[in-house]
Amino acid sequence: MASTLFRTIQIHPFLLYPTALFSRRNGVLYCTMKSSQTQTATQEKQQPPKVKVPQHALKKTVDKITRDYEAIIGIETHVQLSTLTKAFCSCPYNYGSQPNTSICPICMGLPGALPVLNSKVIEFAVKLGLALNCKLSLNSKFDRKQYFYPDLPKGYQISQFDIPIATGGYVDLDLPLEFGGGHRKFGITRVHMEEDAGKLLHSGNGDYSQEITSLTSIYSYFSKHTVDLNRAGVPLLEIVSEPDMRTGIEAAEYAAELQRVVRYLGISNGNMQEGSLRCDVNVSIRPVGQSEFGTKVEIKNLNSFSSINRAIDFEISRQALLHSQGQSDQIVQETRLWEEGAQKTVTMRKKEGLSDYRYFPEPDLPEVILTQEYVDSISNSLPELPEAKRRRYEKMGLSMQDVLFLANDMNVAEYFDATLSSGADIKLAANWIMGDIAAYMKNEKLSINDIKLTPQELAELVASIKSGTISGKIGKEILSELLAKGGTVKGLIEEKDLIQATRVRNYRVYPYERTEPNFLIADPVEIGKMIDKVISENPKQLEQYRGGKTKLQGFFAGQWWFRFDFAGLRPLMVTPPARKVMVVADPAPHSAAALQYALSHALLEQDELILLHVENTSSWKNTLTTFLKRPTIASAANAMTPNNSSGPDWGSTDVNFLDQMKYASEIAQPKIPVRIEKIDPDGKDKATVILSKSKDLGIDLIIIGQKRSLSSAILG
C-alpha cells in the first residue's frame, strides 16, 4: 500500500496539498484550495501598500537614523549538514536531483512510519557547539513543532524546543578594513537539531487565487504549483544569535564567519545559493538611550551576504522613516521578503508566536544522552578554527588585510601553511598567493585546489627570487606556466636558462652609454653590506619610510646606485672578457670624433683597438670631395694628445692620418693595444665591406663617425 501511494504521489503531486473544498452552485461543481500559504499570498496581493517609501527620502534619512535610532539585529541561521543520509531515514540527498526521487514513507510522513536518528547529526551538532564556545547539554530531547505548510507532509517538524543540544556561546570575528575594521564578539543563544521541510515549486504567473471549475482545471492548477519532498527530512542545525548586532555589515560578517566555521569543521558546504546556509534576520529599532526593544520584523529570502547587508539597511531606514512620520504602529511583527530586484522588503505573512507552534515532546524518539568521554573525543579532533588561524597569522607579522584574505578560505589557508612548511618567506608567500595566484584563479574560475602549482614549488619559486637566482619579473613569467601545467621551478629555470647574477653598473660609464658591460657582484653577503651602509647613512629617511612614506624606496635605490664607492669592491667583481673594439678611420672630422669617444667612454683596459680604413671607397664621390673632407691633421690630432708629447710631426702633410690616430690612442690609453687594418672594397659598398671585415676579425663593438646614411646602412 505504501509503495502504491509513493508512486501515486510522484505522478500527482497535488495530492500532498491541503484539503480542497468543493461546492455546487447552479449545477456547477466548484473547488477552492485552502492553505496558509495560498491564503497569505492571496491576501498579500489584495493588500494595498500602507506606506510607500521613496528611495531618495531613504537616502536622506540615513544620517538621521544613525543619530537618533539604534538598530537591534539578531539572526537565525539554518545549516544543512553534509551527512550521507537524512536525519531520520536512510534516504540520500543530492542538491539538484530530480523532484521526489529521494523520498520514503518516513520523510513523506505516512502513517506508521517511525523515525530513527542519524548518529552523524549528533556528532556534527557537538562539533559546532564546541566551535561556537557553547555549553553542551549532555541530556537533550526532540520536540514536535506544529505548523501547516504544503511542503511539510507530517503537519509538524521534528525540532528541539526547551532543551537544545548547545547554549550560551559566542563568535569572535574581525571586520574588513574597508568597513572600519575592529574586533567584534557576538553572543550565541542556542544551537539545536531539526529536520528540513520540502520545497514548493511554482511556474507560470504564480496566481494562487485561480478558481477551479473542472477536473481539467484542477490538473492545470497543480501542474503549475507542485511540491518537491527531496529536501524533507534533511538534517539542519539552527543557530540563534543574541541581538548583539547593530549594522547590516556586522550581521553579514557574522553570517560569513558561521560559513567559515562550518566549512572548517567539514559539517556543511555552506553554499547559500544551494540553501545549505540560510539566514533569517530579525530587525527592530529603538531611540538611542532606550532600553526597551522595538517591534521585531523577520526578513527572509536572503541568498548572499551582500543581500543581508542591504536588506537590513533598507529595513532600518523603513522603520525609522515610519517612526519619524508618527506611524510606528504600522511596524508589526511580521515576516517580510527581500526582493533583490526592487531592493526592498515586502510583507510575506504575519509572524506566528510560540503558542501557534504548539510544541510538545516527540514521542517517537528517545532522549539524546551524551557522555563526557564522547564530547572530549570530538573536542580533541577539532581542526584549527578561523579565529585561531587569524590570531596565528597576526603574530607572524602579517597585516590584517593579509590575515583576513588568507584565513577566509580553508583551502587557501592550508595551501599557505603548506608553503610555509616548505621554508618559504612568510610575507613573500602571502604576496604571491594574494596577488598573481589569486588573479589567475579568478580569471580561470578555479579554486586553489585546481591549480597545478604545489605549495612546495611555490616555496622554491619564492626562495629563487629571494636568493637572486631569478628576478621577480622572471618569476611572474614562469608562474603562469607552473599554475597551468605544473612542473618544477628548477627545471624551468634550467630549461629556459634564466639564472641571473646581481648586476652593478660601472660608475665610470655615462648614463647614455649602453655598450659597456656591467661589473657583476654575485655574493649576497657583500650586497647586504652595501645596503646596510646606505641605510646607516640615512637614518632620518629610514624612520620616515618605516612610518609609512613608502615612496622613499626610490631614494634608497638611488643612494645604492650612485653614492656607493664601487671602486673598493673591484677585487670582488667578475672581470669582463676582453673585447675587440673597431673604429672606422677616415681622414675626416667624424672619424676623429669617433676615436675620441671610444678612448674616453667605451674602451676598457683589457680591450684591443682596431682602426679600420676602407681605401678608395666608392662612397666618396670624386677627388675634389675627398680633398674637401680631409681635416687639418694637426687640428684632428691635437684634440687627443698632450701639448708636450713627442711623436709624428703634426704639421707635416706627409704624415699618414692612420699613424696619427694610432699614436693618439697609445697616448690616451697606453695599456690598450692598437693595430691598423686596411681593406680594398673591390667595388663593394662601404657598409657591406665594414660589416664583412668586422665579422672576419671577430669584432665585439663597432664605433663609426660617418654621416647618418652610412651609419643607417650598417646599423639597419
Q: Which residues pair with 368 in a beta bridge?
A: 140
> Could you tell me if 545 and 556 are in contact, meaning their C-beta atoms sit under 8 angstroms apart?
yes
Alpha-helical runs (H) found in 468-613: 472-485, 489-496, 524-536, 539-546, 553-562, 589-597
Alpha-carbon Rg for the chain in angstroms: 42
Q: What is the pLDDT of residue 54?
A: 58
Residues in contact with 226: Cβ distance below 8 Å, sequence separation at least 6, in sequence order: 13, 14, 99, 200, 201
pLDDT above 90 for 588: no
**Per-residue pLDDT at 621:** 41
Q: Would you give the DSSP letter of residue 24?
A: E
The full set of domains in the chain, from first to last, is: 54-201+228-361 (no CATH), 384-496 (no CATH), 503-572 (no CATH), 580-715 (3.40.50)
pLDDT for residue 500: 60
State the pLDDT at residue 253: 96
> What one-letter code names the amino acid at 84?
L
Which grid coordinates belong to 195? 529536520
119-128, 326-335, 434-443: segment of lowest average pLDDT:
326-335
Classify 299 as helix, strand or coil: strand
pLDDT at position 708: 53
d(CA 170, CA 236): 20
C-alpha cell at 211: 478558481
Q: Which of 214, 92, 202 is nearest to 150 (CA)?
A: 202
pLDDT at 367: 96
Closest CA to 457 of 442, 437, 435, 427: 437
| Cα–Cα distance list, 567 to 32, 530, 572, 573 (Å) | 100, 13, 10, 10
Residues 391-399 have a mean pLDDT of 95
Give me the mean pLDDT over the 478-493 stretch.
90
- Give the residue, 524 or 606, on which the prediction is more confident: 606
**How far, in Å, CA of 651 to CA of 635, rounded?**
10
The pLDDT of residue 38 is above 50: no
Rounded mean pLDDT, 82-101 = 93
| Upper half-sphere CA count for residue 599 (Cβ side, 13 Å) | 23
How high is the pLDDT of residue 604? 82
SS3 label, residue 4: helix
Predicted local confidence at residue 354, as pLDDT: 64
How sure is the predictor about 651, in pLDDT bands with cuts at 50, 70 and 90? very low
Mean pLDDT of 111-129: 96
pLDDT tens, 427-446?
Answer: 999 999 999 999 999 999 99
C-alpha cell at position 452: 597545478
Contact of 633 with 586, CB cutoff 8 Å: no
137 pLDDT exceeds 90?
Answer: yes
Q: In terms of C-beta density within 10 A (0-12 exposed, 13-18 middle, 19 or more buried), how is residue 187 classed?
A: middle
pLDDT band at 225 (very low <50, low <70, confident <90, very high): confident
Among the ranges given (231-240, 380-389, 671-680), the one the predictor scored with the smallest mean pLDDT: 671-680
Kindly indicate the confidence band of residue 117, based on its pLDDT and cuts at 50, 70 and 90.
very high
pLDDT recorded at residue 353: 65
What lies within 8 Å, CB to CB, of 163 at 6+ separation is 137, 139, 140, 141
pLDDT score of 60 more than 70: no
- Each residue's pLDDT tens digit, 291-329: 899 999 999 989 999 999 999 999 998 999 888 888 888
The amino acid sitting at 139 is: N
Average confidence (pLDDT) over 471-495? 89
Residue 447: φ, ψ to 5°: -95, 170
What are φ and ψ of residue 129, in 5° steps?
Answer: -60, -45
Give percent above pLDDT 90 in the chain: 46
What is the pLDDT at residue 603? 84
pLDDT on residue 150: 82
pLDDT of residue 64: 61
Highest mean pLDDT among 374-383, 529-538, 633-642: 374-383
The DSSP code sequence of 156-202 is: EEEE--SS-SEEEEEEEEE--GGGT--EEEEEEEEEEEEE---EEEE
For position 397, what pLDDT does the model report?
Answer: 94
- The residue behind cell 473547488 is 31
Q: Which of 258-267, 356-365, 498-507, 700-709 has the lowest mean pLDDT?
A: 498-507
Residue 220 or 402, more confident: 402
Q: 710: which 3 cell numbers? A: 652610412
Q: Is the pLDDT of residue 639 over 70?
A: no
Q: 218 Cβ partners below 8 Å, 6+ apart?
A: 14, 20, 31, 212
- Containing H/E element for 238? strand 235-241
Round to whole Å and give the CA distance between 318 and 340: 16
Kind and range of the H or E run holding 256: helix 248-265
User: What gap in Å lies between CA 155 and CA 197, rounded to an integer?
Assistant: 10
Would you place residue 254 in the very low, low, confident or very high pLDDT band (cuts 50, 70, 90)?
very high
The chain-wide mean pLDDT, for the chain, equals 80
Q: What band does 277 get if pLDDT is binned at 50, 70 and 90? A: very high
| Pairing status of strand 183-195 against strand 235-241 | antiparallel
Per-residue DSSP letter, 219: H
Whether the CB-CB separation of 336 and 347 falls below 8 Å is answered with yes
- Please give the average per-residue pLDDT across 91-102, as a whole number: 91
Q: Which of 14-23, 601-610, 703-712 has the lowest mean pLDDT?
A: 14-23
Residue with the three cell numbers 544620517: 63
Tens digit of pLDDT for each residue in 161-185? 999 999 999 999 999 888 888 999 9
